[in-house]
Amino acid sequence: MISHWKEDKSVHCTGKIFKLSKSTVFNIIDRFKKINSVDKKQRSGRPKIFNEHEERWIVRQVCANPRISAVKMTLKCKSRFGKSVNPETVRNVLRKHKYHGRVPQRKPYISKANRQARLAFAKMYVKQPTKIWENVILVDKSKYNIFKSDGKQKFGGNQIQQCMSKIYGLLSNMELSGAT
């Protein structure tokens, strides 16, 4: 564009060549006259620490291992990108990508009496042939902690939607089969 201007072509003609308005061409030429460059000025404000590629990498890492802490992610970022950041920065990136940390409901603790009853039930059927299980429908896929809690486990983002779709899927299957 500047070469056309230096060849004494009009602003109108240059605008037609580049398919830009006359005012845009004039502003670009004016900027070139003032600062001898057509590059845009740097924006004010604090620059971003992570670019889009690095943010996507962080989100992929957390999706692969949702239980990883923000502190461990900062260490991974430091080793991979050479950028030392605050753990809150990693959390901000995850929140920006709609991955909000949630703490799921605690799993029920099994009492000693209930544990013995479950063990007796299991011992009763352990020696039975496998044929009897063909007619049994097992519906309870709940996880129970016998010894202690697994601690807080985070989940969020797409995991919440997946959980909800599974719940609604189970409810619709129950309605179809006639169970209430």
Burial of 65 (0-12, 13-18, 19+ CB in 10 A): exposed
| Range scoring the smallest mean pLDDT among 7-21, 61-75, 145-159, 160-174 | 160-174
Q: Determine the average pLDDT of the residues in 2-23.
A: 85
Burial of 85 (0-12, 13-18, 19+ CB in 10 A): middle
Tens digits of residue pLDDT in 129-173: 888 878 877 776 666 666 666 666 555 556 556 655 655 555 555
CB-based contacts of 123-132 (< 8 A; 24+ apart in sequence)? none
pLDDT of residue 172: 55
pLDDT of 81 above 90: yes
Tokens of 171: 């409810």
Output phi, psi for 109, to 5 deg. -85, 135
90 in Cβ contact with 74 (< 8 Å): yes
Q: Which residue would you say has higher pLDDT here, 35 or 140?
A: 35
pLDDT of residue 176: 47
d(CA 145, CA 111): 10
Closest-CA residue to 68 (of 92, 91, 98, 96) = 91
pLDDT of residue 122: 86
In the chain, the percentage of residues whose pLDDT exceeds 70 is 73
pLDDT of residue 160: 58
Closest-CA residue to 158 (of 100, 106, 104) = 100
